[in-house]
Amino acid sequence: MTGPAAHYPVCIVGAGPTGLTTANLLGQAGVRALLIERNPTTVQQPRAVSIDDEALRTIQAAGLIDAFIPRVALDYGSHYLSASGRCFARVEPTTREFGYPRRNAFRQPELEATLRDGLSRFPHIETAFEHTVEDFDQDDHGVRLRVRKPDGSIVEVACDFLAGCDGGRSMVRQTLGIEMVGSSYNERWLIIDLEGTRDTYRQTRVYCDPRQPGINLPGPDRTRRFEFMLDPDETEEAVLDPENIRRLLETHGPDADATIRRAQVYAFHARTAETWSRGRVHLLGDAAHLTPPFAGQGMNSGLRDAANFAWKAAAVIKGDLGPALLDSYQVERRPHAWALIEMAVMLGRVMMPRSPARAWLTQLGFRVLGLSRRAQAYIAEMKYKPKPRFAEGFLVPDGRPAGRTLVGRLFPQPRVETADRRTMLLDDALGGGFCLLAFAADPEVAFAALDRAALAKMGIGTMCITPRSRNVGGGEGAAVRDVDGDAAAAFAGYEDDLLLLRPDRYVAAALPAGDPDAMLKTIEGLFASTWRAGA
């Protein structure tokens, strides 16, 4: 590139998974943006190895799922083993609630390469690798960045909004003077990445052994990751000694001779930024939250941030919604990210018993839980994982209790069939943007009383899902059939409502279908709230 142009609606600092995903989503939304990365290329070293269903749905929204999925080992679980090697708990989720298996193995460098390649689809997304953001300032009108070019000179760039996706040591966060807060959790782990594994065990094994707690994770293409927790008195030098690594591999399966791609000691934290947004600058990904690795959620949370931030930034930049919409970014994302950090810390306690007595007690607890089918399913299906659900933000609460309302939840992604008999995931049928979703036998009747022109003016489309037993004919407007009955289950208790889905597929409102005037007023009120200061 010859050098960045003077002004962009959005500048993104950092081309890790969070920044790259944000750039792709803005690309899809047609928003001009500049992505600035200090390194010459995306990450080459192994980092994250576990990607969840929500993150895969975001890659789908970025239009890259077909390119990425061949690089993912889909659908694997975790077995928790006692010190004697006995499996005392199994996590093997079977749900495809959001369109994909809940636990999947991948390699972060491959995801980043896919995301980087994906940017070439968008002439309006520019990248500046080997460029470092040195500092910035902001006022009511915009943000000005000072960027160091590869030749050492400084160039100034201006933007309306800055996305700080610059990782755990975030310069953006530090420049804003924002502290990280949270627990005092601070553990060191030895991470060993192998190639050419001989171990055919499919599931992740978690060694809940107080003498040497560890995790053994299979990856795609015969890769394998070991993670071992270190004692405070173990030195980095001693644990990285090749002898020590071979000894650990020998005692954990048939991989003593596998190729060691990398061995490194990492310190993990459980923290979040005290605030994620200040003025026109927003923190995303590791810049906003740091999580221990047990739940494999650090990057996944970053992709959730990208999915939440990108459509809001796009709507504000296009003038479709007011600037106060971006206030809802941290209101929605911060509590959920923290809930996942707490889950990781909780899992850590199970995985890393500090004494044989504690290990015995924990495992006894699981044995007792195993007597109840419900408790067994709770663990196996990962129901302890905090649901993608917002209590407040850009939504209209419907007064139902938190556990029962659909409002604020990520809507499931069932398989649907189009009029020409193609089967696809719901989001592919919906496309981008807001959508009023109905579940009804007759699509014409479902939307008959609605002022569709008024909805179209607000950028809201309509879609009707017909029951499994009812084919979709031609000429009925946008309609698809519920292939597996999952849409019917998702609408349980809301059969008489239309659901307003946001572009990130969270439910913004549940609106009684019988009162179209009230429905329109509610939506207009929600949209208008984004133009009010402090909304």
Ligand X SMILES: Cc1cc2nc3c(=O)[nH]c(=O)nc-3n(C[C@H](O)[C@H](O)[C@H](O)COP(=O)(O)OP(=O)(O)OC[C@H]3O[C@@H](n4cnc5c(N)ncnc54)[C@H](O)[C@@H]3O)c2cc1C
Q: Are 282 and 164 in contact (CB under 8 A)?
A: yes
In the list 24, 204, 216, 300, the residue contacting ligand X (rule: CB under 6 A) is 300
Tell me the closest approach of the beta carbon of residue 477 to ligand X, in angstroms. Answer: 39
Q: Which is nearer to ligand X, 18 or 24 (CB)?
A: 18
Cβ neighbours around 75 below 10 Å, total: 17
Closest distance between ligand X and the C-beta of residue 208, in Å? 19
Helices (H) and strands (E) counted in the chain, each on its own, are: 16, 26
SS3 at position 101: coil
How many residues are given for the chain? 535
Please tell me whether residue 44 binds ligand X under the rule CB under 6 A: no
Question: Is residue 78 a contact residue for ligand X (CB under 6 A)?
Answer: no
For the CB of residue 47, give the shortest distance to ligand X in the complex, in Å.
Answer: 4
Dihedral (Cα; 60, 64, 65, 69), 10-degree rounding: -150
Q: Which is nearer to ligand X, 180 or 419 (CB)?
A: 180
Q: Which of 11, 56, 191, 317 binds ligand X (CB under 6 A)?
A: 191
- What's the gap between Cα 221 and its chain centre? 24
Tell me: does residue 167 bind ligand X (CB under 6 A). Answer: yes
Per-residue x/- track, 248-277, ligand X (CB under 6 A): ------------------x-----------
Q: Sort 179 into a burial class: Cβ within 10 Å, 0-12 / 13-18 / 19+.
A: exposed
- Shortest separation between residue 17's beta carbon and ligand X, angstroms: 5
In the bound state with ligand X, the residue whose beta carbon lies nearer, of 191 and 229, is 191
Q: Binding string to ligand X for residues 86 to 115, with x set by CB under 6 A, is what? A: ----------------------x-------
CA 8 to chain centre: 26
Q: Check binding of 282 to ligand X (CB under 6 A).
A: no
Among positions 47, 173, 205, 224, the unique one binding ligand X when judged by CB under 6 A: 47
Q: How far apart are CA 348 and CA 327, in angstroms?
A: 33
CA–CA gap between residue 471 and residue 88 (Å, rounded): 46
Closer residue to ligand X, CB minimum distance, 228 or 439: 228
The minimum distance between CB 524 and ligand X, in angstroms, equals 36
Dist. CA 321–CA 328, nearest whole Å? 12
Tokens of 340: 């996942």
CB neighbours of 448 closer than 8 A, spacing ≥ 6?
none
Nearer to ligand X, 218 or 302 (CB): 302
Q: How far apart (Å, rounded) are the C-alpha atoms in residues 206 and 214?
A: 6
- Least spacing, CB of residue 197 vs ligand X, in Å: 17
Taking CB atoms within 8 Å and a gap of at least 24, the contacts of 399-402 are none
Query: Among 30-38, 353-361, 375-383, 387-395, which window interacts with ligand X (CB under 6 A)?
Result: 30-38
Residue closer to ligand X by CB (options 17, 414) is 17
Residues within window 356-415 making contact with ligand X, judged by CB under 6 A:
none
Verify binding: residue 304, ligand X, rule CB under 6 A: no
- Does the footprint of ligand X cover residue 143 (CB under 6 A)? no
Q: In this chain, which of 4, 18, 89, 206 binds ligand X, going by CB under 6 A?
A: 18
Closest CA to 504 of 357, 333, 360: 333
Pick the stretch among 34-42, 61-69, 154-162, 504-512 that binds ligand X (CB under 6 A): 34-42
List, in order, residues 6 or more apart from 24 with CB less than 8 Å away: 62, 63, 64, 115, 118, 119, 122, 125
Of the candidate residues 27, 99, 302, 348, the single one contacting ligand X (CB under 6 A)? 302
Task: Please list every residue from 123 through 142 that binds ligand X, using CB under 6 A.
Answer: 132-133
Q: Name the one range near ligand X by CB under 6 A: 32-40, 82-90, 459-467, 515-523.
A: 32-40
Which residues have a Cβ under 8 Å from the Cβ of 119 and sit 6 or more positions away? 20, 23, 24, 27, 35, 125, 127
Stretch that binds ligand X, among 89-97, 233-241, 296-304, 377-385 (CB under 6 A): 296-304
Task: Yes or no: say if 306 and 283 are a contact pair by the CB < 8 Å rule.
Answer: no
* Number of Cβ within a 10 Å radius of residue 28: 21
Is residue 494 within 8 Å of residue 510, measured between CB atoms? yes
**Is 520 buried (19+), middle (13-18) or exposed (0-12) by CB count in 10 A?**
middle
Kindly indicate which of the ranges 69-77, 244-252, 299-307, 476-484 contains the residues binding ligand X, using the contact rule CB under 6 A.
299-307
Q: Is 14 in the site for ligand X (CB under 6 A)?
A: yes
Of 12, 25, 49, 249, the residue at the interface with ligand X (CB under 6 A) is 49
Indicate which single residue of 29, 35, 48, 89 sits in contact with ligand X (rule: CB under 6 A): 48
Element (DSSP H or E) covering residue 443: helix 443-447
Indicate the SS3 state at residue 278: strand
Give the residue with the Cβ less far from ligand X, 197 or 405. Answer: 197
Does residue 13 bind ligand X (CB under 6 A)?
Answer: yes
Binding site residues, ligand X, CB under 6 A: 13-19, 36-39, 47-50, 108, 132-133, 165-167, 171, 191, 266, 285-286, 293, 296-300, 302
